[in-house]
Chains A and B, each alone.
Chain A
C-alpha cells in the first residue's frame, strides 16, 4: 500500500461514497451516516502518512504513481504531491470528516445521497490536488463540481437554481479556455500532458499572455477574485451548512492552487508582466469587499464576502514573488480553511435552532448559549486576524512581504486590520451581545455534544496553527523556493 498512498487517498472516499449510496433510501439513514463517517475517517487515516512520511528537504514530487491511462494521447494516471499540494489534501480529508459530523442530525432528507456527495467530492478534490497529468487534473477539477451542484441544487435554499446556474455560467467559460490551453500545451510540449513537462516548455509572449488570461479566468472564478466573485455569496446563501463549509474551506483553494501549479510555472513571463493586474484585483478584493461585507444583513453573505477578502490575500501573496508572500498565501489558504469552516458551522448551529440567517433576528445569544458564544468569539477573532490564531499568520506574512515590494500594496492590504475587525465584530455584537429581544432566541439551547466536538477540534486547529505555524511552513518552504527559482527564469524561446 505504501507506494499507492495517493491512490487510496483519492479513491477510498469515492468508494466509500458509492457504498453509502448503496444503502438506498432514508430507512437506512443511520447506516448511511455511520458508513460515511467510517469512510471519511478512513480517508483521513490514509492521508496522514503523506504528512508523517513527507520529506521536507526536497522539492521533488513525492509518493509518485504513474501508469498509462490513454496511451494514444500520452495521458497518464500520474499522481504526486509536493509541499504545496500535500497540506491541501490533508485539509480536505480533515474537512470531510467535519462535514459528515456536521450533517449528522441536520440532514434528514436523502441522507445517503447527501453523505455520498461529500465523500465523492472529497476524493475528486484530492485527485485534483494530486494530479500531475493535465487531463487527469481536468477530469477531477470538473468532476468535483458535479457533487457540489447537487449539494446546492438538492439540499439548498429556495433560490438554489439561480445560484447553481450563476456558478455554472461563471465556471463554464474559464473551464473551456483552460481545456484549450491544455491542448495547446500538448502540442507545444511535443505531445505531452505531463504538468511538470509543461513547466519547462518554452512559450512565446503572446501565447503566454493568452494562456495567462485563460487560466486566470478558470482559476480566478474559483478563488473567487474580484470581479468574478458574485456567484459565491449566492451559492453560500443557498447551500446547506456542509456545502458552505466545503465550498469555503476547500473548493476555493482549488482555484488558488491552480495559480501555483499552472499559472506561475507555465507562463512565468506573462505572470511577471501582468502581476500588477492580479495584485490590483487582489487589493480591490481586500478593500472593496471588506466594505461590502460591512453592509450585509445576512450572516452567510457576510462570511462569504469575508472569504473573498481573505482569499485576496492569497492571490496577492502569490504575485509578490517572494517566499514570505507565497508561503503567506498558502498559510492563509489553510487557515481560511479552518476559520471559514468554523464560522459557517457557527452559523449552521444558529440556523438549526432559529431557521434564520438574518443578523436582526438575533441578539443576546450569550445569555442562552454561553459556550457557543465563547467559541464564536474565538473564530470571529481569528477571522479578524488576531495574533495567536491562524488567521493572523498568513495575513501577517503577506503584509510583511508586500511592504518589501511596494509600500502601498501593504498599505491597502493592511486595511483588513480595520475592515476585518469591523464587519466581523459588528456582526458578533449584534448577534451575541445585548439583550434578548426575539422570543425565539429565548428558547435556544447551548451546544450539544456533536457541535461541541466540532468546535473544539477547530478551535485546537485555529490556536495551534496560530501559536506554532512552523510545521506548516517547513513543509512548504523548499517547494516554494524551488517554484520561485523556476518562475524567475524566462521561458521565452
Chain B
C-alpha cells in the first residue's frame, strides 16, 4: 500500500465509522455502533503510527486529494501536508480519541443516545484530522468549522437540558465571532498571495514582509500584522482565549468524554496548532506576536484564578484548561512554537486523563459533580485516585512528569523573549504556577482525601442531568469498570513519561525541521538550547528554581486549607467577599456579553424591524397605495369606455416617454 492511500485512510476510517453508527445505528445496535467506530479510530491510530515512522525516516508529503474549485489561475484544493507537526497532532488526536471511544462504552452505558454519541465523536475525529492534515487555508477552515459543528452537537447532546442547549448555541456563536476574524484573515492571504496553498504562501511571505495596507484613513498597517491578528482572532475563538473564553466553561454541559476529547485535548488546541503552522507568517510581525503573548498571559493568569472558587469538578478542570491554553499561547508569542506544541501534546494526555478521571468520579457519585459533597474517595477508587494524582502532578509541573518539561520551558522561553510585553507575561505565567497548584490540589484533596461528605449530599434532581444517569443509588462508592479505568491507565503512562522521553528531540533536536520557522530575530529556542543538558539534568535543576517552589507552596497551602483548617477558606471568603463575588461571577463577562450582544442584537433587530421595515418602508408603500386609491377616484372620470380613447392615450404616453429619452443622447 502506498503512503497516499494510508493518508486517506486516516481521516476516512473514522468517517466511515461515524456514518455507519449515525445512519444505521438502529440496525447495528449499541454494540455494533461502538465496534465500528472503535475499529475506525483504531485503524486510524495504527495508520498514524505508520505515517509517523515514515516521517521520522525523513519522508514528508504535500499533495492534493482533489480539486474543489478552479477559477482560471485560482485553484482551491483539498489536500494533505504530512510533516512532523502534522504527524504529532495525528498521533495525539487518534490516541486520545481511541481512549475516549473505549471509555465511552462505560460512561454512556445506559444512555438512549448511545449510537448517536459514538457517531458524533468519530465524526469529530474525522474533522479534526482533516484540520491538522490540511495543506491549505480553505481545508483548514473546513476542519475548523466542522469541529465546531460537532462540538455544538455534543455540548447539546442532552438536548432536553435547557442549560446544555443554551451552552451549545453560545459556544457556536462565540466561535463564529472568532471565525469572523479568521475568514477575513484568509481573505487577505488570498488577496495578497493569490493562493491559499500553505507552501505557496509561506514561500512568498518573506518577500511581502514589508508590505503595508491602509484600512482606516491614511495609516499604513503592516500586512503581516493585520493577517496575523485576524487569523489569531480565529484561534481566540477556538482555543478559548480571553475575551472569547466564555464558551468553554459552559461547554461542560456536554457528556464528560467529549470534555476530555474536544474541550481539553484536541479541538481547543486547534488554535495553537494553527499559529504554529503559520509560523512563517507570524515570525514576520512582532506586533502580532506581542498581541498573542498579551492575550495568552491574561488567559493563563486570570482564568486560573477562577479555578479556585469553582465547586463543580468538571468546571475546575475546565478553568485549568483555559489557563493552560493561555500558557501555550504565551509560548507562541515568544516564538517558542515547538514548546507550545510540546505543551499541547503533554497537556492533551494529562488533561484528558484528568477529565476522564473526573468522569469516573462522577459515575461513582451518581452524577453529583459538586466537590463539596465528595471526599475520601481514595480508598474506594484506587485506580481513579492514583491516575488523578498523576494527572494533577503532571499539570502542576512536578519534575520528571510530562507537564513539568513543557511548562517549565514555556516559563523560561517567556523570560528570554525580547518582546516588550514579555516581562509582564513572565510574571503572569509565574504566578500562574502557584495558582494552578493551588486549585488543582484543592480539588484533589476535596475529592480523594478528608472526610467522606457524599452521604450528606442533598438529593439532587436527576431530571436536570438528562439521560446521564446510571441508575444505581445508595451504598458506598466503588471503582468504575475496566472500560473506564483502562483508558485512565493508558493515559497515565504518557502523562508520566512523554515529556522526559521527547523533550530533547522535539525542542532541541531536529524533529520539527522545516515544519516550524523561527526567525533569527527571535533566538529564544537557540538560547534555551544553550542551557539544556538533557532531560535528567533539567528535572534535577528544577528543584532550585522559583516555579518549583511556587508549585510546592500552592500544594502546601491547599493541603493546609482543605485538610487541616477547613475553616480558613470560609473565613477568607467572608473577609474578601468582594473578591470572592468577582471570581464566582467570572468577572461578569457572561452578564456583559449577554446584555450587550445577545440582548442588544435582539433589541436592535426588533427596533430596525418595527421602525425601519414596518413604519418607514411599509408606511411609504401603504401611503402610496392610499394615494393611488385617491388618485384613481379622480382618474375614474377619464374612463370614457371607448377603446380608441385609451389607445390614443397610450400612444401619446409612449411617444412622450420615448422622445424624452431620445433627446438625452
Which positions in A face B, CB cutoff 8 Å?
165-166, 169-170, 180, 183-184, 187-188, 203-204, 206-207, 210, 227, 230-231, 288, 291-296, 323-324, 327, 364, 366-367, 377, 381, 386-388, 392-393, 396, 399-400, 402-404, 407-408, 410-411, 414-415, 417-419, 421-422, 425-426, 429, 432-435, 467-470, 473-474, 477, 481, 493
Q: B70 contacts the other chain (Cβ, under 8 Å)?
A: yes
> Which 8 A-B pairs give the minimum distances between C-beta atoms?
A403-B187, A291-B605, A295-B605, A295-B606, A294-B605, A404-B191, A433-B165, A184-B661
Q: Are B187 and A323 in contact (CB under 8 A)?
A: no
8 Å CB contacts to A: which residues of B632-665? 654, 657-658, 661-662, 664-665
The listed residue (B602, B609, B617) touching A227 by CB distance below 8 A is B617
**In the complex, residue of chain A having the shortest beta-carbon distance to the beta carbon of B23:** A374
Given contacts A323-B71, A410-B187, A425-B172, 9 further A-B contacts (CB under 8 A): A180-B657, A207-B665, A377-B153, A386-B145, A408-B215, A414-B180, A418-B180, A470-B70, A477-B71
- From B156-164, B360-368, B385-393, B559-567, the one touching the partner chain is B156-164
On whether A410 and B601 interact (CB within 8 A), knowing A169-B624, A207-B664, A477-B72, the answer reads no
Residues of A within 8 A of B70 (CB): 470, 473-474, 477
The listed residue (A166, A183, A291) touching B601 by CB distance below 8 A is A291
Complex-state Cα separation, A124 to B235, whole angstroms: 50
On whether A169 and B658 interact (CB within 8 A), knowing A288-B612, A294-B602, A295-B609, the answer reads no
Q: Are A433 and B159 in contact (CB under 8 A)?
A: yes
Least CB distance, A298 to chain B, in whole angstroms: 12
Least CB distance, A241 to chain B, in whole angstroms: 24
Q: B528 contacts the other chain (Cβ, under 8 Å)?
A: no
Complex-state Cα separation, A381 to B608, whole angstroms: 25
Q: Are A396 and B665 in contact (CB under 8 A)?
A: no
Least CB distance, A384 to chain B, in whole angstroms: 8
Q: Are A470 and B605 in contact (CB under 8 A)?
A: no
The listed residue (A288, A295, A434, A469) touching B162 by CB distance below 8 A is A434
Complex-state Cα separation, A296 to B145, whole angstroms: 26
30 pairs, A vs B, C-beta closer than 8 Å: A180-B661, A183-B658, A187-B661, A204-B664, A204-B665, A230-B618, A288-B608, A292-B613, A295-B608, A324-B71, A364-B160, A381-B149, A387-B146, A388-B142, A400-B187, A404-B191, A407-B184, A410-B187, A414-B180, A419-B601, A421-B176, A422-B601, A432-B159, A433-B165, A434-B159, A435-B160, A435-B162, A470-B68, A473-B69, A477-B71
Residues of A within 8 A of B176 (CB): 417-418, 421-422
Residues of A within 8 A of B625 (CB): 165, 169
Complex-state Cα separation, A493 to B657, whole angstroms: 22
**In the complex, residue of chain A having the shortest beta-carbon distance to the beta carbon of B71:** A323
Residues of B within 8 A of A231 (CB): 621
Least CB distance, A295 to chain B, in whole angstroms: 4
Complex-state Cα separation, A396 to B604, whole angstroms: 26
Residues of A within 8 A of B423 (CB): none
Least CB distance, A159 to chain B, in whole angstroms: 13
Complex-state Cα separation, A438 to B70, whole angstroms: 50
Q: Are B612 and A414 in contact (CB under 8 A)?
A: no
Complex-state Cα separation, A422 to B175, whole angstroms: 11
Q: Are A210 and B184 in contact (CB under 8 A)?
A: no
Least CB distance, B593 to chain A, in whole angstroms: 13
Least CB distance, A99 to chain B, in whole angstroms: 27
Q: Are A402 and B149 in contact (CB under 8 A)?
A: no
What sequence of 0s and 1s flags, for each residue 591-615 of chain B, a beta carbon within 8 Å of any chain A beta carbon? 0000000000110111011001100
Q: B553 contacts the other chain (Cβ, under 8 Å)?
A: no
Residues of B within 8 A of A418 (CB): 173, 176-177, 180
Q: Are B180 and A203 in contact (CB under 8 A)?
A: no
Q: Are A411 and B184 in contact (CB under 8 A)?
A: yes
Least CB distance, B628 to chain A, in whole angstroms: 8
Complex-state Cα separation, A294 to B191, whole angstroms: 32
Residues of A within 8 A of B69 (CB): 393, 469-470, 473
Is chain A's binding surface mostly helix, strand, loop or mixed? helix
Complex-state Cα separation, A206 to B142, whole angstroms: 47
Q: Are B608 and A403 in contact (CB under 8 A)?
A: no
8 Å CB contacts to A: which residues of B203-227? 213, 215
Q: B584 contacts the other chain (Cβ, under 8 Å)?
A: no
Residues of A within 8 A of B618 (CB): 230
Complex-state Cα separation, A257 to B308, whole angstroms: 60
Complex-state Cα separation, A473 to B76, whole angstroms: 12
Q: Are A387 and B142 in contact (CB under 8 A)?
A: yes
Q: Are A184 and B662 in contact (CB under 8 A)?
A: yes
Least CB distance, B376 to chain A, in whole angstroms: 37
What sequence of 0s and 1s flags, for each residue 69-95 of chain B, a beta carbon within 8 Å of any chain A beta carbon? 111101000000000000000000000
Least CB distance, A124 to chain B, in whole angstroms: 25
Least CB distance, B234 to chain A, in whole angstroms: 11
Least CB distance, B315 to chain A, in whole angstroms: 22
Complex-state Cα separation, A183 to B159, whole angstroms: 60
Q: Are A470 and B74 in contact (CB under 8 A)?
A: no
Complex-state Cα separation, A294 to B68, whole angstroms: 33
Least CB distance, B108 to chain A, in whole angstroms: 17
Residues of B within 8 A of A293 (CB): 605
On whether A414 and B608 interact (CB within 8 A), knowing A206-B664, A473-B71, the answer reads no
Residues of A within 8 A of B105 (CB): none
Q: Are A415 and B180 in contact (CB under 8 A)?
A: yes
**In the complex, residue of chain A having the shortest beta-carbon distance to the beta carbon of B152:** A425
Complex-state Cα separation, A117 to B618, whole angstroms: 29
Q: Are B661 and A294 in contact (CB under 8 A)?
A: no
The listed residue (B183, B613, B621) touching A170 by CB distance below 8 A is B621
Least CB distance, A193 to chain B, in whole angstroms: 14
**In the complex, residue of chain A having the shortest beta-carbon distance to the beta carbon of B127:** A388
Least CB distance, B518 to chain A, in whole angstroms: 29
Complex-state Cα separation, A493 to B664, whole angstroms: 12
Least CB distance, B125 to chain A, in whole angstroms: 16
Residues of B within 8 A of A417 (CB): 176, 179-180, 183
**In the complex, residue of chain B having the shortest beta-carbon distance to the beta carbon of A471:** B69
Least CB distance, B530 to chain A, in whole angstroms: 43
On whether A169 and B621 interact (CB within 8 A), knowing A292-B605, A402-B187, the answer reads yes
Complex-state Cα separation, A364 to B466, whole angstroms: 13
Complex-state Cα separation, A25 to B149, whole angstroms: 49
**In the complex, residue of chain B having the shortest beta-carbon distance to the beta carbon of A381:** B149
Complex-state Cα separation, A323 to B71, whole angstroms: 7
Least CB distance, A225 to chain B, in whole angstroms: 12
Complex-state Cα separation, A408 to B69, whole angstroms: 26
Least CB distance, A17 to chain B, in whole angstroms: 31
Least CB distance, B383 to chain A, in whole angstroms: 36
Least CB distance, B138 to chain A, in whole angstroms: 8
Q: Are B159 and A425 in contact (CB under 8 A)?
A: no
Q: B515 contacts the other chain (Cβ, under 8 Å)?
A: no
Least CB distance, A350 to chain B, in whole angstroms: 17
Q: B508 contacts the other chain (Cβ, under 8 Å)?
A: no
Complex-state Cα separation, A294 to B609, whole angstroms: 10
Residues of B within 8 A of A381 (CB): 149
Least CB distance, B176 to chain A, in whole angstroms: 5
Residues of A within 8 A of B9 (CB): none
On whether A493 and B665 interact (CB within 8 A), knowing A422-B601, A470-B70, the answer reads yes
Complex-state Cα separation, A429 to B170, whole angstroms: 11
Q: Are A425 and B169 in contact (CB under 8 A)?
A: yes
Residues of A within 8 A of B156 (CB): 433
Residues of B within 8 A of A203 (CB): 665
**In the complex, residue of chain B having the shortest beta-carbon distance to the beta carbon of A404:** B191
Q: Are A387 and B661 in contact (CB under 8 A)?
A: no
Least CB distance, A427 to chain B, in whole angstroms: 11
**In the complex, residue of chain A having the shortest beta-carbon distance to the beta carbon of B158:** A433
What sequence of 0s and 1s flags, for each residue 495-518 of chain B, a beta carbon within 8 Å of any chain A beta carbon? 000000000000000000000000
What sequence of 0s and 1s flags, for each residue 132-143 of chain B, a beta carbon within 8 Å of any chain A beta carbon? 000000100110
Complex-state Cα separation, A67 to B142, whole angstroms: 50
Q: B456 contacts the other chain (Cβ, under 8 Å)?
A: no
Q: Are A387 and B141 in contact (CB under 8 A)?
A: yes
Residues of B within 8 A of A206 (CB): 664-665
Residues of B within 8 A of A207 (CB): 661, 664-665
Least CB distance, A65 to chain B, in whole angstroms: 29
